[in-house]
Amino acid sequence: MSPGKSFYTALLGSALAIQPSYAQNKHEHTRAFYESILTLDALQNELDSCEPGPVEAWGHVEKAYRLQKQGDHKGAITPLREAINQNPKHRMAYQNLSTAYLKVKDYIACKQFAKRAFELCEGDATLECKALSNLCISSVNLKDFQAAQMYWEKWQALAPKDELLIKIQPKVFPRN
């Protein structure tokens, strides 16, 4: 049984109630607030554009998120795969799964799930950039520089001043 929009609205409301009051300095507060806004934007986009999936899918994504925050990227893979099994259109699950595979250096799997995340995120520049960054980085690590350059150029068109984009440029376009 799938929940209605009321479930997602309640989930968004509870996310809004969590504010980063633990910050010890202005920089940490700004970073934490920015991260919470990105999370809220992604959640709102999920609410607006995806078919509601089973509640269990959200539970798996939440569990994986906690594991990734603790640095257990390998442990986060199983719950994210479960979330995708529950809801094959769960954009955040695909995105987080590609990141988990990137962190454990399984670049082929990272690329596979990042491609699907990119397809599902069409029209959402923030999530498209995240998928493109994973595609670009995994392509560089697989020594597929032609693909890396293609993904880098798409990423640059969406976010020309992205710090990671600028940082990775020398690896994407190596000097021979």
Q: Which string of DSSP letters, residue by residue, matches 107-161?
A: HHHHHHHHHHHHHHTTT-HHHHHHHHHHHHHHHHHTT-HHHHHHHHHHHHHH-TT
Q: Which two tokens stand for residue 40?
A: 């809220």
In the prediction, which pLDDT does 83 show?
Answer: 85
First to last CA, the chain: 57
In the prediction, which pLDDT does 4 show?
Answer: 45
Nearest to 119 by CA among 147, 150, 88, 76: 88
Q: What's this model's pTM, rounded to 2 decimal places?
A: 0.65
Which domains does the chain carry?
24-172 (1.25.40.10)
In the prediction, which pLDDT does 64 show?
Answer: 84
Q: Which two tokens stand for residue 33?
A: 């607030």
pLDDT by residue, tens only, the chain of 176 residues:
344 444 444 444 444 444 444 334 444 444 444 454 555 555 555 544 444 556 677 788 888 888 888 888 888 888 888 888 888 888 888 888 999 999 999 999 999 999 999 998 888 888 899 999 999 999 999 999 999 999 999 999 998 888 888 898 988 887 65
